[in-house]
A and B are shown apart, each in its own frame.
Chain A
Amino acid sequence: GAGVSQTPSNKVTEKGKYVELRCDPISGHTALYWYRQSLGQGPEFLIYFQGTGAADDSGLPNDRFFAVRPEGSVSTLKIQRTERGDSAVYLCASSLRGTAMNTEAFFGQGTRLTVV
């Protein structure tokens, strides 16, 4: 596809359940980012991948959150034992090499997660 694709667009889950959010970056982009955006706030960094490896996971709030990118393309954000406070829009972005390497990051439209 032409842009960053995130699925599902909306996810409603019960407290305590496990969820997976998927991100398909732009083809050829080596850098991939996950952010979380709560209502009325700016996006908050979660994790950054360069290729298959997580170069910076300092934004993951706790060990219930985990992300993988096994083949250096598609990434999955996994949340265990979901809590109501996890409700937010989860944004994925990709860039050709990385924003510090003079390439811009393109964002997907996000997955709206609601934990009830």
Chain B
Amino acid sequence: AQKVTQAQTEISVVEKEDVTLDCVYETRDTTYYLFWYKQPPSGELVFLIRRNSFDEQNEISGRYSWNFQKSTSSFNFTITASQVVDSAVYFCALSEAKGGSEKLVFGKGTKLTVNP
């Protein structure tokens, strides 16, 4: 069965600090997809990144970076030089996308608060 664990329920940092959000997943499939979404107070989930299981190359997008390690089944997300606008709940998600199923399995989320 698929499962996504985000062990950090809440994190609070001061602006300009770096912060890493952890994500550990479980799946029996060799082909799967990993995602990160941001949910600001407005409630709308905002897509941040999608990774497939065959691409372990780390990715950087501005202040955001992602570290995918199949050996530890982890897909961690780092925000460098955090800003107040980064305050939100962040969700990691997994999709096996087999047999026509497209469902995303989400973790419980990590609430990030960036204080000025």
Report whether B102 and A104 are in contact in the complex, using a CB–CB cutoff of 8 Å. no
Q: Separation in Å of the A32 CB from the closest CB of chain B? A: 10
Stretch of B13-21, B61-69, B80-88, B93-101 lying at the A interface: B93-101
Report whether B47 and A100 are in contact in the complex, using a CB–CB cutoff of 8 Å. no
Residues of B within 8 A of A40 (CB): 108
Contact residues on B (Cβ < 8 Å of other chain), bracket:
20 to 34
Complex: how many Å from CA A107 to CA B104? 12
| CB contact list, A10-67 vs B, under 8 A | 31, 33, 35, 40-45, 48, 50, 55-56, 58-59
Residues of B within 8 A of A108 (CB): 44
Contact residues on A (Cβ < 8 Å of other chain), bracket:
20 to 34
Report whether B101 and A107 are in contact in the complex, using a CB–CB cutoff of 8 Å. no
Residues of A within 8 A of B43 (CB): 89, 109-110
Known A-B contacts A40-B108, A42-B91, A43-B106; the reply to A55 vs B101 at CB < 8 A is yes
Complex: how many Å from CA A98 to CA B101? 10
Report whether B104 and A109 are in contact in the complex, using a CB–CB cutoff of 8 Å. no
Given contacts A35-B104, A104-B47, A109-B44, 6 further A-B contacts (CB under 8 A): A33-B104, A50-B100, A99-B97, A105-B47, A105-B104, A107-B44
